Amino acid sequence: MAGRKFKYTISIFVVLCASFFIGCEGNEFEEKNYAGEALGTSYHIKIFTGKDDLQVEKALDSIFDVINQSMSTYWENSDISLINKGVDSVKIDSHFKRVFQASGKIYQETEGYFDPTVGNLVNAYGFGPDSHLDALDDKTIDSLLQYVGFDKLKLNSESEIVKEDPKIYLDFNAIAKGYTIDVIAEYFESRGVQNYLIELGGELVSKGEHITKQKPFIVAIDDPLQEEGERTFQATLKLKNRGMATSGNYRKFRIDSVTGERYVHTINPLTGKPERSNLLSASVLAESCMLADGYATAFMALGLDKAKELSSKLDNIEVYFIYAENDSTKVYTSEGFQEVLISE
C-alpha cells in the first residue's frame, strides 16, 4: 500500500485573500483564517461567518487531541497504540469505529491493496514510528506478511477490536488525516458555518463558496517533478462541497539509467515488497475527505492501469492521475474531474 510508507502527500495550496467584511442577503460575513500545526503536519482554514463566538482554536485543539488519543501511532498510550501492543478490552470511540468501517469498505473494494494492517511492513521499511529492520529478505517479509490482512480484524459488539494474532499492527495514517478534516467540517456545520475551506497536510474539504469573490474555492495540485524550493502547479481546479486528497511519491521517483523512464516504488500489501510503478501521484475527489484520502492511497498501490479500472467502477469518485511515460509525464483524468479543472 502506498500509505504512509511511500505516501508523500502532494502539497495543495489554498488560495487565500485579504480579510474584510461583505454584506450578503442582509447578513455580514467576516472572512476568518486559521493556521497551525497538528497531526505532524500543518493546517490552513478559511471560513466566512457572521458569528463571533465560534471559539475555533479551542474546538480545533479538542478535535486534534481526540483524534490523536484515538488513532495516533505516535502517541504511546493512544487507543490504537494499546491495541497494537496487544492490550485487551480497549473500548474504541466513535471516531475509531467510523475510520475502521471505512477502511474495511476500501479494503474490500480494492481487493486488499488498501490495508491498514500493513503497519509492521511500514515500520520494517523505516516509514513508521518504530525502528526499521536493517535487512529485509524474502524470509523476513514472509514472516511479516502473516500479520497483514484487514480481514484478520473484527469489531465486536463491545466496541473492541479483536485480532487473529496479537502481533497485527494497525495503522490508520493513510486515512485518518482525511477523516480529521471531515470532523472539523462537521463542527462548522453544527455551528451554522456554510462557507469554508479546510486544508490539513494537503488534503481538503470545501463547502459553499469564497464569499468575497462569490466564486468556488480555487485549489491547485503541485507538479510532482518540481525541484526542491520550487512552487509549480500541475493543475488548478474549483472545489465545492467535496473532499479532495492527493497521494504520491513526491520527489521520490527514480530514472532508469538505460531508458530514461521515470518510476516510483510502492509497497504492495499482498506481497510485502516494493513494486515499480509509473504512477507518480493520484488526486481524488469524493463525498468526504476520508474516502478521498483512502482511495488516493489505494490507487498508488494499485498502479496506473488497475487504478484507472477501479476508479471507473466507483460511484462519486473522480480522479486525476499524473504518470510517467518514457522521459515525460502525462495525465489521466476522469470525466467528472475534468469538469472542475480550470483551463489555462
Reply yes or no on whether the pLDDT at 8 is more than 50.
no
For 187-202, write each residue's pLDDT tens digit: 999 999 999 999 999 9
- The pLDDT, as a whole number, for residue 62 is 98
Among 136-140, 160-164, 230-234, name the one with the lowest average pLDDT: 230-234
38 annotated as ligand-binding: no
Query: Which carries the bigger pLDDT value, residue 165 or residue 344?
Result: 165
Query: How confident is residue 129, by pLDDT bands cut at 50, 70 and 90?
Result: low
Cell readout for 84 is 497494537
For 168-190, write each residue's pLDDT tens digit: 999 999 999 999 999 999 999 99
pLDDT exceeding 90 applies to what percent of the chain? 67
Reply yes or no on whether the pLDDT at 149 is more than 90.
yes
Query: How confident is residue 302, by pLDDT bands cut at 50, 70 and 90?
Result: very high
333 annotated as ligand-binding: no
234: nearest Cα among 250, 211, 214, 254: 250
- The pLDDT, as a whole number, for residue 137 is 83
- The pLDDT, as a whole number, for residue 134 is 62
Contacts of 321 (CB under 8 A, 6+ apart): 279, 281, 282, 283, 299, 304, 307, 308, 331, 332, 333
Contacts of 243 (CB under 8 A, 6+ apart): 178, 181, 182, 203, 204, 205, 285, 286, 287, 288, 289, 290, 291, 292, 293
Full DSSP string of 294-321: HHHHHHHHH-HHHHHHHHTTSTT-EEEE
Instruction: Look at phi and psi of residue 94 and say left if phi exceeds 0, alpha if psi is from -120 to 50, else beta.
Output: alpha
Reply yes or no on whether the pLDDT at 282 is more than 60.
yes
For 20-71, write each residue's pLDDT tens digit: 333 333 357 899 999 999 999 999 999 999 887 889 999 999 999 999 999 9
- The pLDDT, as a whole number, for residue 250 is 53
CA 175/CA 182 separation, integer angstroms: 11
Beta strands in the chain (DSSP E): 21-24, 27-38, 41-49, 153-155, 161-163, 195-200, 203-207, 217-222, 233-239, 243-248, 254-255, 262-268, 273-277, 279-286, 318-325, 328-333
Distance of CA 11 to the CA centre of its chain: 11
Among 74-83, 127-136, 154-163, name the one with the lowest average pLDDT: 127-136
Query: How confident is residue 19, by pLDDT bands cut at 50, 70 and 90?
Result: very low
Ranges of each domain in the chain? 206-340
Read off the pLDDT of each residue in 111-135 and give the average, rounded to a whole number: 78
Superfamily, domain 206-340: ApbE-like domains (3.10.520.10)
Which residue matches cell numbers 497483514? 148
Among 81-85, 93-97, 328-332, name the one with the lowest average pLDDT: 328-332
88 annotated as ligand-binding: no
- The pLDDT, as a whole number, for residue 294 is 97
